[in-house]
Amino acid sequence: MRPDPLVVFTPSGKRGRFAKGTPVLTAARQLGVDLDSVCGGRGICSKCQITPSYGEFSKHGVTVAPDALTEWNSVEQRYDDKRGLKPGRRLGCQACVMGDVVIDVPPESQVHRQVVRKAASARPIIMDAATRLYYIEVAEPDMHEPTGDLERIARALREQWQIPGITTDLSTLSRLQPVLRKGGWKVTVALHKTSETALPRLVSIWPGLHEKGLYGLAIDLGSTTIAAHLTDLETGLVVASSGIMNPQIRYGEDLMSRVSYAMMNPGGDREMTTAVREAIDTLAIDIAREADVDPALILELVFVCNPVMHHLLLGIDPVELGQAPFALATSDALNLEARELGLSSLPPSSNVYILPCIAGHVGADAAAVALSEEPGKSEDLVLIVDVGTNAELLLGNTSRVLACSSPTGPAFEGAQISSGQRAAPGAIEAIRIDPVTREPRFRIIGSELWSDEDGFDLAAAASGITGICGSGIIEAVAELRLAGLMDPSGLLGSAEQTGSPRMIPEGRTHAYVIHDGTAEGGPLITVTQGDIRAIQLAKSALYAGARLLMDEMGVDTVDRVVLAGAFGAHISAKHAVVLGMIPDVPLDKVTSAGNAAGTGARIALCNLAARAEIERVVRRITKVETAIEPRFQEHFVAANAIPHKTDPFSELAKIVTLPNVSFNASGDREGRRRRRSS
């Protein structure tokens, strides 16, 4: 007797023998091949598309005859007429096996498809959405066998999809009856699971086959900005990204000033909660409009945020986070419904997932960075620095991962800098100072040209040259040091001391003129002594945090550094090391991960298993508290020098020679005061 036909699926390589007449979808399911279906094989959803291959396949030991599958049928023809099937494609639920066959499952037909990422080094996202669609045919009510509509939906899911039970909430329950009747008892339901083993929750329902998709929002709730990515929950593709300023800024620039606002003003925490929730509502509506997506289809939200934002989003007074022992109301991940956060622009039963916090100062944003960058899977010792108003640091390898946060303040973002501005067209983002002439040249956001190149003036005319953004100020300070215009203590020299007329008096100190646009009514853009002090404070806090983690790990060096955060993407590795922002490593060991917290949010949005993974990983991360650690202060003071008072920075010395200048003995008041106090 001839054996049953052999079916080989690619790219999985799964194979098995099936009786003639078995639908390809059934064969795929029995072998555990990842082939999608929303309609359960009724030939109406087209999710099960496959591509059979014919001919000789020595690799698989199979010859596929032209009649290996049943003939193209009327259901496929109807679908092709209506929507069009790509040439060579068949519907897996309609085509049946008749002989040995090799079947390719294209990426669009895989539930667990990989999301295309822009950067080759970036972690791929595998789709495994927590909310899925199921088309069902529900039994009509029968007076002789009284059951509720919900119970008959549950029975249809059990019989047609082997889903053992469901729960729902009142807002969805109230929509069931009209939708069931409108759909003629044929409906599509969206079921959400909080974990692989949890009972699914019915979160939405549509008449007939729902073909408009499902969407989710990955939200990076920062102290300064709120960024959101609207993501297709079937493909994982971001259909729109948008951001707005966090309106809580009016209550305080940084986290601690917001905590103090809550402490000093009764009801202040509630004001900030209302402000941020309203902003998220506005952002959700705007981003849905931009992508032409009905907000009713946004059924999931994932938030990453620092602990203070976390508490204020949840409506929890953050006062405990302002004082030792910095107790969180909860550090666990949370699953809520949009209604509980008062988000009125979205369906009330949309699921809100908030990543776990690592500690009172290290939040769900750092957890998201850990999810995206996976320090615990790194063979070499990696330091991940998420630079923002507050810097989060992770240090680890396969043996251990440590985390802390460091209060860098907003200087790295261009705030509290005399000519500072946010990253926008016209802002100086890169600068070089000639070590001989001490003349600057720079680039502004919005133009690829350097200021000494032909065409720059024309390119800059539209935006003007308006200020310096975060990456620009870091480069400027490092370049001042490289050009010998600033000494290791951070003191700027005078015009006489440096021989540069660009050093102008600024009160009792000096400032370096990068660009003077005053003749045309533009700004005078300088780096002042105060700017340098602000950057020194920020970089010392960052470096001290890193050193504290290295102490805890028992090491003096790290193998590589990853700069994360939207701003991290623009920092030049060389300038970061010259400044002593990060530990001394070879420059080719410094990489940028872009917005790793946002990426972590997207991973958690698209992949249910990743949520379980980060919840597990966070429990194993050792938290180091900078605020109460006396060595933090020591490291902070030593890190004030540029690049550092005691650490040798020998890797840096291999590529640059830092000028041996000192402006302390200049006779100026600053110098005298510093000498007296030392």
Which residues contact ligand FES (rule: CB under 6 A)?
Answer: 25, 37, 39, 41-48, 91-93
- The enclosing H or E element of 189 equals strand 186-192
Q: How far is the CB of 79 from ligand FES (least distance, A)?
A: 7
At its nearest, how many Å lie between ligand FES and the CB of residue 11? 20
**Closer residue to ligand FES (CB): 43 or 464:** 43
> By the 8 A CB rule, do 154 and 202 touch?
no
The residue (of 93 and 394) whose beta carbon lies closer to ligand FES is: 93
Closer CB to ligand FES, 48 or 301, in the complex: 48
Contact at 8 Å (CB) between 279 and 226? yes
Which of 93/537 has CB closer to ligand FES? 93
- The token pair at 294 is 């009905």
By C-alpha distance, which of 507, 512, 479 is closest to 497?
A: 512
Measured from the CB atom, the residue of 41 and 243 that comes closer to ligand FES is 41
Closest CB to ligand FES among 25 and 219?
25
- Residue 426 CB, shortest distance to ligand FES, in Å, is 53
Q: What angle do CA 267, 270, 274 make, to 5 degrees?
A: 145
DSSP assignment, residue 462?
A: T
Q: What is the dihedral of CA 436, 437, 443, 448, to 10 degrees?
A: -80
Q: For residue 197, report the phi and psi dihedrals to the nearest 5 degrees.
A: -100, -5
For strands 351-354 and 524-528, give the pairing: unpaired
Cα–Cα distance for residue pair 656/572, rounded to 1 Å: 15
Nearest distance, CB of residue 45 and ligand FES, angstroms: 3
**Residue among 91 and 314 whose Cβ is closer to ligand FES:** 91
| Backbone phi and psi for residue 330, each to the nearest 5 degrees, phi listed first | -155, 145
Cβ 460 to ligand FES shortest distance, Å = 56
- 3-state SS record for 345-367: CCCCCCEEEECCCCECCECHHHH
Q: Strand 382-386 relative to strand 391-396: parallel, antiparallel, unpaired?
A: antiparallel
Query: Measured between alpha carbons, how far apart are the two ends of the chain, in Å?
Result: 97
Alpha-carbon torsion (480, 482, 485, 487), positive or negative:
positive
Residue closer to ligand FES, measured from CB, 38 or 642: 38
Min CB(92)–ligand FES separation in Å = 6
Between residues 47 and 229, which has the closer beta carbon with respect to ligand FES?
Answer: 47
What type of residue is 42?
Answer: R
Minimum separation from the CB atom of position 76 to ligand FES (A): 9
Distance CA 421, CA 419 (A): 7
The residues near 431 (Cβ < 8 Å, ≥ 6 apart) are 440, 441, 442, 443, 472, 475, 476, 479, 514
46 or 248: whose CB is closer to ligand FES? 46
Please give the Cα distance from 473 to 223 (Å, whole number): 21
Q: Residue 51 burial by CB count (10 A; 0-12/13-18/19+): exposed, middle or buried?
A: middle
- Name which of 89 and 310 has its Cβ closer to ligand FES: 89
CB of 142 to ligand FES, least distance (A): 28
One-character DSSP codes across 276-307: HHHHHHHHHHHHHHHHT--GGGEEEEEEEE-H
Beta carbon nearer to ligand FES, 103 or 511? 103
CB of 231 to ligand FES, least distance (A): 23
* 380 contacts: CB under 8 Å, gap ≥ 6: 397, 559, 560
| In the complex, residue closest to ligand FES by CB | 93
- Answer whether 489's CB lies under 8 Å from 665's CB: no
Task: Name the nearest CA neighbour of 235 among 81, 1, 36.
Answer: 36
Quick one: which of 245, 248, 267 has its CA closest to 319?
267
**Dihedral (CA of 580, 582, 586, 588) sign:** negative
Amino acid at 626: T
Quick one: tokens of 348? Answer: 């009330």
Q: At residue 373, what are phi and psi to the nearest 5 degrees? A: -95, -15
C-beta of 41 vs 568, nearer to ligand FES: 41
Q: Cβ 465 to ligand FES, closest distance in Å?
A: 58
Residue 40 CB, shortest distance to ligand FES, in Å, is 6
What count of other Cβ atoms lies within 10 Å of the Cβ of residue 653? Answer: 12
**Measured from the CB atom, is 42 or 400 closer to ligand FES?**
42
